[in-house]
A and B are shown apart, each in its own frame.
Chain A
Amino acid sequence: MKMKTKILISGNEAMAEGAIQAGCRFYAGYPITPQNELTAYMAKNMPACGGEFIQAESELAAINMVYGASAAGARAMTSSSSPGISLKQEGISYIAGALLPAVIVNIMRGGPGLGNIWPAQSDYFQATRGGGHGDYRTIVLAPSSVQEAYDFMPLAFDLADKYLMPAMILADGMLGQMMEPLVVVRRPSAPSEVEGSSVVRGRNTEDEIRTTKKWALTGCKGRPANVVKSFFMKEGALEIANLKAQKKYRAVENKEQRWEGLFLDDAKIILVAYGSMSRIAKSVVVQLRQEGKKAGLIRPVTLWPFPRKIFEQLSRKKKRPAFFVTEMSYGQMVEDVKLALECRCKVDFFGRSGGGVPTEGEIIKKVRLL
């Protein structure tokens, strides 16, 4: 049975509701602006669904609680904003090393340091390169609307469960705080959205966990003990574990690249932006088209794996388009665009960070100068 309702809700609250609908039954967090509404929503609504909400004593504690809950088989998540996400990096590395699923939400604010509470996209490098120590990756999804903030939560949990690795939702203060209409679809128990995944979103009952997560620490009566760890002292053991993880990361890179394109067939200049910035870029592209300019847009939806394929494809066209990347940072995703294009196309960049958001007017002015 599906129930559809349209509500006005903030991005932060939409993510919390999306997680609960995705079967998340463990949340631990520590307050920080501009993501507090997410934590508050979980505090209010998690107990009613039979889940656990814990306001931890610190960010470190919260991520390590998620580590434990995930090892026991729960769909577990935490959320924070930039400085808090930095504090969580050690735990994220351990989760990745232990091959566990987990969902982490980062509602980015201005940095470095304590920075400020206004929107920014300056944590792209941290999110897409692992962030903590060691050779690991996290799947990174970038919603651009309140609807996607909701829709990407089940997707993040499904991907994390399928590949047994952390998945991060990377959004910014504007998307977190902004309210938009959201169409909520309540699914009591929906199948996974991810191809080839056996996970069913449900109530995280012990029986369900035992059957769908055979690696989980559910008590080993009648079966060999499971071991969850990221510590490998035996000679060669860590390398074997790392190679296994790398193989998995290559599979994710091949199968899970997601992106949205607009007017790519005949575009001469292609804007590239993600999250909140992609909406502003989209307005610019529509305006340029009205003026008769052949502009297009690529919006990466997965930031890792970066959607290289579409860039490679476009850069091998006879008439190669030029690219214009715009971010709320001083140039982070632009490096992935350049890596994907391998010097075959011209790439320009415009970004602001520290509270300023590039405006449509500023971007159009820069594009016209090209």
Chain B
Amino acid sequence: MLLGKVLAEAAMKEDKFITWLPSYGAEVRGGTAHCMVVVSDSEIGSAYVSKADALIIMNAPSLNRFKARLKKNGLLIANSSLTGDFSEKNARVSACPFSDMACALGNIKVANMIALGCFAALTGIVQPQSLREVIREIAPADKRELVTVNLAALEQGIKLM
């Protein structure tokens, strides 16, 4: 959810049309959640994504649930720490152990920012600089130390590609 929000905020900085639609309702803490982000140069019709250009998959249940929603030869970025090894014929797969890398950085929660850096580098949809600015802006005032580790994670993701 946060990954999608940072992406959406960054695209908004670049004056693109964006929508961000969360999964809501009967979600559980620690369970699986998702969000759908549309980034466009023109007005957006549906915020609901039935066929996606790209999927960023952070765990195994999400891979099973959403892989059929990817367009043919779409981009599939996966967190192999939690999905394990897999093959997907009709997708351009980029699988990296984001969770393990995040642990090495000292905070497992920044796995999402590594994945986001990876996505930005591969697609060029948003500029890394916009993402950096958003990360600096959205960190709560009493938790500024989170900025450093999230920025480090983003840079690592960008360098992966």
Binding site for B on A (CB under 8 A): 6, 8, 33-34, 117, 173-174, 177-181, 276, 279-280, 282-284, 357, 359-361
Which residue of the partner chain, among A8, A177, A276, A279, contacts B22 with CB atoms under 8 Å?
A177
How far, in Å, is B42 (CB) from chain A's closest CB? 9
Can you name 19 extra interface pairs (CB under 8 A) apart from A8-B9, A117-B24, A177-B22?
A8-B8, A8-B12, A33-B24, A117-B26, A173-B24, A177-B21, A178-B47, A179-B5, A179-B8, A179-B19, A179-B20, A180-B20, A181-B18, A279-B43, A282-B43, A282-B45, A284-B45, A357-B48, A360-B45
Chain A residues, Cβ within 8 Å of B18: 8, 180-181
Which residue of the partner chain, among B20, B24, B46, contacts A280 with CB atoms under 8 Å?
B46
A17 to B43, CA, bound (A): 23
- Contact across chains for A357 and B46 when beta carbons are under 8 A apart: yes
Chain A residues, Cβ within 8 Å of B20: 8, 178-180
B50 at the interface (CB under 8 A from A): yes
* Least CB separation from A285: chain B residue: B45
Nearest 7 pairs between A and B by C-beta?
Answer: A283-B45, A179-B20, A117-B25, A279-B45, A280-B46, A178-B47, A181-B12
Pick 12 A–B contacts, CB within 8 A, sort by A.
A8-B20, A33-B25, A177-B24, A181-B17, A276-B47, A279-B44, A280-B45, A280-B46, A282-B43, A357-B46, A359-B46, A359-B48
Chain B residues, Cβ within 8 Å of A33: 24-25
How far, in Å, is B138 (CB) from chain A's closest CB? 10
- Contact across chains for A279 and B46 when beta carbons are under 8 A apart: yes
A8 to B2, CA, bound (A): 13
A177 to B27, CA, bound (A): 14
Known contacts A8-B8, A181-B12: A174-B47 contact under CB 8 Å: yes
Size bracket of the B interface: 20 to 34
A117 to B44, CA, bound (A): 23
Chain B residues, Cβ within 8 Å of A179: 5, 8, 19-22
- Contact across chains for A180 and B19 when beta carbons are under 8 A apart: yes
A34 to B22, CA, bound (A): 11
Chain A residues, Cβ within 8 Å of B12: 6, 8, 181
How far, in Å, is A98 (CB) from chain B's closest CB? 36
Chain A residues, Cβ within 8 Å of B9: 8
How far, in Å, is A288 (CB) from chain B's closest CB? 13
How far, in Å, is A190 (CB) from chain B's closest CB? 26
Chain B residues, Cβ within 8 Å of A34: 24-25
How far, in Å, is B73 (CB) from chain A's closest CB? 19
A181 to B9, CA, bound (A): 9
- Contact across chains for A283 and B46 when beta carbons are under 8 A apart: yes
A276 to B20, CA, bound (A): 14
Which residue of the partner chain, among A117, A178, A280, A283, contacts B19 with CB atoms under 8 Å?
A178
A34 to B26, CA, bound (A): 11
How far, in Å, is B20 (CB) from chain A's closest CB? 4
How far, in Å, is A291 (CB) from chain B's closest CB? 16
Known contacts A8-B5, A8-B8: A174-B44 contact under CB 8 Å: no
Chain B residues, Cβ within 8 Å of A180: 18-20, 47
A360 to B49, CA, bound (A): 11
A284 to B45, CA, bound (A): 9
* Least CB separation from B134: chain A residue: A8
- Contact across chains for A178 and B21 when beta carbons are under 8 A apart: yes
A357 to B22, CA, bound (A): 15
Which residue of the partner chain, among A6, A178, A284, A359, contacts B50 with CB atoms under 8 Å?
A359
Q: Which of B1-58 contact A (CB under 8 A)?
A: 5, 8-9, 12, 17-22, 24-26, 43-48, 50
Chain B residues, Cβ within 8 Å of A284: 45
Chain B residues, Cβ within 8 Å of A360: 45-46
How far, in Å, is B140 (CB) from chain A's closest CB? 15
* Least CB separation from B4: chain A residue: A179
Chain A residues, Cβ within 8 Å of B5: 8, 179
* Least CB separation from B26: chain A residue: A117
A80 to B24, CA, bound (A): 16
